[in-house]
Amino acid sequence: GLNFIDLMVRQGNIDNPPKTPLVPGFECSGIVEALGDSVKGFEIGDRVMAFVNYNAWAEVVCTPVEFVYKIPDDMSFSEAAAFPMNFVTAYMMLFEVANLREGMSVLVHSAGGGVGQAVAQLCSTVPNVTVFGTASSFKHEAIKDSVTHLFDRNADYVQEVKRISTDGVDIVLDCLCGENTGKGLSLLKPLGTYILYGSSNMVTGETKSFFSFAKSWWQVEKVNPIKLYEENKVIAGFSLLNLLFKQNRGSLIKGVMDKLLNLYTNKKIKPVVDSLWALEEVKEAMQRIHDRGNIGKLILDVEKAPTPLVS
């Protein structure tokens, strides 16, 4: 699976970037080739998907058994590679952090991306949830059925949301950061929850730029705890990778994956795969995410031959 965090790793816009040379990637799907001595519950030949702490974009991947899950029989390998990061992130934010319930409203940015589509699908499993989404206008036709109210990502979405729902929304999911933090907080109803789960506005051109990084930080509205208390608002952060690899919550994630696979089996959710790319085409695949051209998930496929360039 190819995720926006991979672009941030490439540019060094993360805390403690690993030393090069490294193999990027945090999730994959494939077939079990070998097992550790004490591993139980899996056999050689099993179809599996897994979280990996780097090194997922490889022909052979090694990861602890607690991060590995069996793929349902009717799920393809490309769907399985699109599943763990996006759906676990969406589920944890909606149900574990923000306590989504019937009749609530949610604002999600990048509604056409992998997490955005997972959020929209999971919201549809709860009665009467209103989803406000922002996305590039060329995606609107393709994703309009998954979101209740869709706005252009460059529009003044604060005014658009307030026009429809005067007191705002219950949950804001922000993967952009920068100036959107203040806007998101301003849209929250009393007892509403704002969750920051990424900072894609910090990824700018081809190279890491300190100035773009600093600009994003300066645009973040300074949060005043007294104001949060007076307005009854909740502000939260969510990083799935830190939860898995730094805070040792693999068993919690396993429970979430069980629920998600149950929803998949019951045809309530289904990963949206944008496109498959050969490993040699990773530059072009990353550019597609960078330009926000994708609807759903981009997958790197080790068995795919590069597409010949057409003059």
Would you state the pLDDT for residue 207? 47
Would you state the pLDDT for residue 208? 47
Would you state the pLDDT for residue 122? 98
Does residue 187 sit in helix, strand or coil?
A: helix
What average pLDDT is seen over the chain?
A: 90
Beta carbons of 155 and 129 less than 8 angstroms apart: no
Beta carbons of 108 and 86 less than 8 angstroms apart: no
Does residue 256 sit in helix, strand or coil?
A: helix
DSSP characters for 99-120? ---TT-EEEESSTTBHHHHHHH
**Domain-wise residue ranges, the chain:** 4-83+247-300, 87-242
Beta carbons of 34 and 44 less than 8 angstroms apart: yes
Give the residue with greater pLDDT, 198 vs 69: 69
pLDDT tens by residue, 67-80: 999 999 999 999 99
Q: List the helix and strand counts (H, then E) for the chain.
A: 12, 11
CATH of domain 87-242: 3.40.50.720
pLDDT tens by residue, 258-273: 999 999 999 999 999 9
The Cα–Cα gap between 174 and 193 comes to: 11
| Biggest alpha carbon–alpha carbon distance for the chain | 61
Domain 4-83+247-300 architecture: Alpha-Beta Complex (3.90)
- R_g over Cα of the chain: 19
Query: Fold match between 4-83+247-300 and 87-242?
Result: no
Instruction: Give the pLDDT band of residue 131 (cuts 50, 70, 90).
Output: very high
Among the residue ranges 151-155, 174-178, 258-262, 288-292, the one predicted with the least confidence is 174-178
pTM over 0.75: yes
Beta carbons of 82 and 114 less than 8 angstroms apart: yes
